[in-house]
Amino acid sequence: MSQNAEKVIDHLELFRGPEYTEMLANKKCMFEDPVPAEELARVGEWTKSAEYREKNFAREALTVNPAKACQPLGAVFAALGFERTLPFVHGSQGCVAYYRSHFSRHFKEPTSAVSSSMTEDAAVFGGLNNMIDGLANSFSLYKPKMIAVSTTCMAEVIGDDLNAFIKNAKEKQSVPQDLDVPFAHTPAFVGSHVTGYDNALKGIIEHFWDGKAGTAPKLERQPDGKLNFIGGFDGYTVGNLREIKRLFDLMGVEYTILGDNSDVWDTPGDGQFRMYDGGTTLEDAANAIHANATISMQEFCTEKTLDVIEGHGQEVIAFNHPVGVEATDRLLMEVSRLTGKPIPAAIAKERGRLIDAIADSSAHIHGKKFALYGDPDLTLGLAGFLLELGAEPVHILSTNGGKEWKEKAEVLLAGSPFGKGCHVYPGKDLWHMRSLLFTEPVDFLIGNTYGKFLERDTKTPLIRIGFPIFDRHHHHRYPVWGYQGGLNVLVTILDKIFDHIDQNTNVVAKNDYSFDIIR
């Protein structure tokens, strides 16, 4: 029986009824000229073979299921970390709609960003008018304190000059002359979202430190003993930055977070809509030039930004998304060294608790094999933690990781007996990962939501750590940094391991003799 107005069935159930399964089967055999079922099965099996893997890895032009996003996404992320800042993407509006939905699906929060909505005319004659009108409209509509401009491919292909356009727009009184409008060229055909983050943050820092595009005097650095902190493009930014602030406050460190997204993506449900919330104040962004040093949690997110900061005389230290005991030790020791502040007993206690938790549960993770993919820094941080737990990473893949990332990962793996037999795959995609998982199976896969297709195909249980996570909610509210963050990652991994054991023992009267209460 098909749909019935009395009891309408939703998509989860509808096509499972006999009338649909029959109809679809008939349609297939009568009108779709299908290959025989055995042939279909044979080819399906063949895609799991070593032979297919070889062909898969010989792919040159086609990318299948990439695990990376584009530069402007990163630029929007960076812009949203500043007080009352409107990300303005010069280019086509469709791209910007993607960024907003992408972030909103991950953070479960509205994400504000506008576009200059370039059309065909703009593509032919240049997008200057779109910039002039766009800045004027967004300023009067959304009352930002700063508009951070980045670009989509469209504007980059025709070569729009942001510096000139913004000057022009200000001359046309599109926005007040003294409005802060930093900019960054962020073509999606170069790099990935981590590059875009880097470019946009660099644009903002240069804007404030280097004379606001020639409209103000450059700032003179007068070291004030403070510390700058950059989190980078991070799906856990809400939990992570709050954790970092807590740790710094415990240590008594004076700091500036450059790009603080923790509030804008976690506004309270109290009846008030906050288009902007929190963020690094523009004053702090400018004064950050006086800091003694800058710490970046994600080297590959901040390569150019750190160059600029170092060029202004600060010491810069870059980490690779540190997770776990040793990585957090190194972070805190650097903070301590740079600021002269000791690590208090309260934090040492947290460290002890993480170690204790690992000891309690290590038997379940120790010796398990993992595949891992994601952004370059995140994969390095997680791989380090896995080694610390005695887990054995087998495949580490990063679509937006390059040669330098590969070398770093190999050094990391060589430093541990648990890293033997692990291979590193820069520039590869999730279809490559599929072949890897079929030909060299592992116990668990760590990756973002897109890994669920790999989980479905290869039956490798997916542990969701990364960005984006669309199909599980609120994990971004919990840190993965600090000892507390290490504990969260540990628990995330353990939960999956235990769920997996339960799932393999829960068929009544078949295998549930091992469906135990105590694990």
Please report, as ranges, the residues that interact with other proteins according to CB under 8 A.
Answer: 325-326, 329-330, 332-333, 336-337, 340-345, 348, 351, 355-356, 358-360, 362-363, 366-367, 387-390, 416, 418, 508-509, 512-514, 516-519
Residue 72 or 482: the one with the smaller Cβ distance to other proteins is: 482
Whole-number Å distance between alpha carbons of 30 and 512: 43
Q: What's the closest the beta carbon of residue 394 comes to other proteins, in angstroms?
A: 17
Which of 264/358 has CB closer to other proteins? 358
Q: Across the beta sheet with 146-151, what order do the strands follow?
A: 114-115, 85-90, 146-151
| 426 Cβ contact partners less than 8 Å away, ≥ 6 residues apart | 398, 401, 402, 403, 405, 406
Q: How far is the CB of 455 from other proteins (least distance, A)?
A: 24
Residue 468 — φ and ψ, nearest 5°? Answer: -90, 155
Give 163 or 514: the residue with its C-beta nearer to other proteins.
514
- Rank residues 237 and 488 by Cβ distance to other proteins and give the closer one: 488
> Closer to other proteins at the Cβ: 311 or 421?
421
- The torsion defined by the Cα of 24, 28, 29 and 30, in degrees rounded to 10, comes to 90
Termini Cα distance of the chain:
45
Q: Which of 76, 89, 96, 153 is catalytic?
A: 153
Quote the least distance from Cβ 425 to other proteins, whole Å: 24
> Least Å distance between CB 509 and other proteins?
7
Q: Of 226, 290, 299, which Cα lies nearest the Cα of 256?
A: 226
d(CA 303, CA 281): 23
Residues 6+ apart with CB under 8 A from 363: none
Across the strands, what pairs with 316?
A: 294
Residue 252 vs 313, nearer CB to other proteins = 252
- Which DSSP string corresponds to 436-485? HHHHS--SEEEE-TTHHHHHHHH-PPEEE-SS---SS-SGGGS-SSHHHH
Q: Give the CA dihedral 143, 149, 151, 154, nearest 10 degrees.
A: 50
Neighbours of 62 (CB within 10 A): 7
CB closer to other proteins, 171 vs 360:
360
* Residue from 64, 157, 491, 507 carrying the catalytic annotation: 157
Question: Could you tell me which of 502, 78, 106 has the C-alpha nearest to residue 305?
Answer: 78
Query: Which structure tokens are listed for 217?
Result: 């005097």
157 is catalytic: yes
In the complex, minimum distance from the CB of residue 517 to other proteins, in angstroms, rounded to a whole number: 5
Provide the 3-class DSSP secondary structure of residue 111. Answer: coil
In the numeric block, the tokens 């769920």 are attached to 499
- Residues shown for the chain: 519
Give 126's DSSP letter: -
Smallest gap from Cβ 374 to other proteins, in A, equals 23
Residue 331 CB, nearest approach to other proteins (Å): 11
**Mind telling me the catalytic residues?**
153, 157
